[in-house]
Homo-oligomer: A and B are copies of this chain.
């Protein structure tokens, strides 16, 4: 709830407004559901503010499009046709990063992940977007395909007003340390525990 009051008023020389508008690095981690779903929900808020949103999916299969992709692409079309909301780009590693013909043909997942991160870094340096959804980025970091210090450093020194949300289990402790907001989604109970598989409309 946005009416919340901060528990500390810092002595950092900033006005409340300046402090309020500082861009955030957010991490959704933990073994429970809702990490990516909440990140795509944030994309709805950003779209509504007219922000430029870019989603980069690092792991999900390209065999199915998740519902959020279709819905956000419809909102991107609403923006193009009526000017309402903001632009949305969706890039999926599993489908071959859309900006690169090479990546689409490669079977080398480590190279594809590194290439995805290099593109994100270029865009952050160029201040290309207002919100970056780096979906499941924790995995290629955990596997050593992307250098966590490079990620932390790029985020720490990023120019302008760019928000970043990173999702995935087992977020690296360096990522957690450097983030402004970290939420852990914990599984209390899941239908798979009682033998029910994931279903359309709920899991994707």
Number of interface residues of A (CB under 8 A): 85
> Given the known A-B contacts A34-B183, A186-B183, are A194 and B41 also in contact in the complex, defined by CB atoms under 8 Å?
no
With a cutoff of 8 Å between Cβ atoms, the chain B residues found around residue A16 in the complex are 197
Copies of this chain present in the complex amount to 2
With a cutoff of 8 Å between Cβ atoms, the chain B residues found around residue A72 in the complex are 44
Q: Is the CB of A163 within 8 A of B7?
A: no
Q: Which of B4, B39, B191 contacts A24 (CB 8 A)?
A: B191
CA distance A187 to B185 in the complex (A): 9
> Given the known A-B contacts A44-B40, A176-B189, A186-B184, are A22 and B196 also in contact in the complex, defined by CB atoms under 8 Å?
yes
At the interface, yes or no: A105 with Cβ under 8 Å from chain B? Answer: no
With a cutoff of 8 Å between Cβ atoms, the chain B residues found around residue A27 in the complex are 188
Q: Is the CB of A68 within 8 A of B49?
A: no
Q: List 27 A-B contacts (CB under 8 A).
A: A2-B203, A6-B197, A7-B192, A8-B195, A10-B194, A19-B197, A22-B196, A24-B199, A33-B38, A33-B183, A36-B41, A37-B38, A37-B41, A40-B44, A41-B41, A44-B71, A44-B72, A47-B71, A48-B70, A78-B78, A176-B188, A180-B196, A181-B189, A181-B190, A181-B191, A184-B188, A186-B186
